[in-house]
Chain A
């Protein structure tokens, strides 16, 4: 069974860079069928896709966050990572890593999620 686990600091200071890593177990991050992504949810609010990466390193970002986001992949460790720069209180959220599966058979689904990790931006 595929599992995803987020890790990283739960508290980040304003103007600094938020860094999270997602470790994938029970399956290979190098599968050609899937993308790997980050989704966040501010407290009491809705879901926001941050960006996605393919195992080859191709990246796709939410236009509203693109200037501050970097997603990278380390296939040797079966991990992918998120960096969000110049954070403010508005970036306080639960951050989920997930497997994204676009296909002609099943449409486009997010079929596996990490448990989520709360990151608070505060001095």
Chain B
């Protein structure tokens, strides 16, 4: 099985900060990587698909990059609405299985 390692697990930042979250796969997953934002009591919301494509309606301060085994989610200027938990998700196109990273909680510094 492909394992996803997400870091850091918690991140303290201030409004206006540039924030970067990393997700590493135990083997190459090409660009089968998505990022989600989750707020307490809510279902996750899709932010980035295919590693670097911005979902419609998502602010442009969010961006994704990477391929193969290392991926990043960047928030260029953190806004109050961005304090949440972020998850990466990979898809194994051979076994048709899905795996999430452990999550990164972005907290107010």
Query: A residues touching B (Cβ–Cβ < 8 Å)?
Result: 35, 37, 46-49, 52, 60, 62-63, 96, 98, 100, 102, 106-111, 113-116
Q: Determine which of B44, B50, B96 lies in contact with A106 in the assembled complex, contact meaning CB atoms within 8 Å.
A: B50
CB distance from B38 to the nearest CB of A (A): 8
On whether the beta carbons of B51 and A107 are closer than 8 Å, the reply is yes
> Would you call B19 an interface residue if the criterion is a C-beta within 8 Å of the partner chain's C-beta atoms?
no
On whether the beta carbons of A113 and B50 are closer than 8 Å, the reply is no
Hey, which chain B residues are within 8 Å of A60, CB to CB? 95-97
Q: Can you list 5 A-B contacts with CB-CB less than 8 angstroms, sorted by A residue number?
A: A60-B95, A60-B96, A60-B97, A108-B32, A109-B49
Pick out which of these stretches binds chain A: B20-28, B73-81, B99-107: B99-107
Hey, which chain B residues are within 8 Å of A102, CB to CB? 32, 91, 93, 96
Q: Determine which of B90, B96, B103 lies in contact with A47 in the assembled complex, contact meaning CB atoms within 8 Å.
A: B103
On whether the beta carbons of A110 and B44 are closer than 8 Å, the reply is yes
In the complex, A101 Cα to B102 Cα: how many Å? Answer: 21
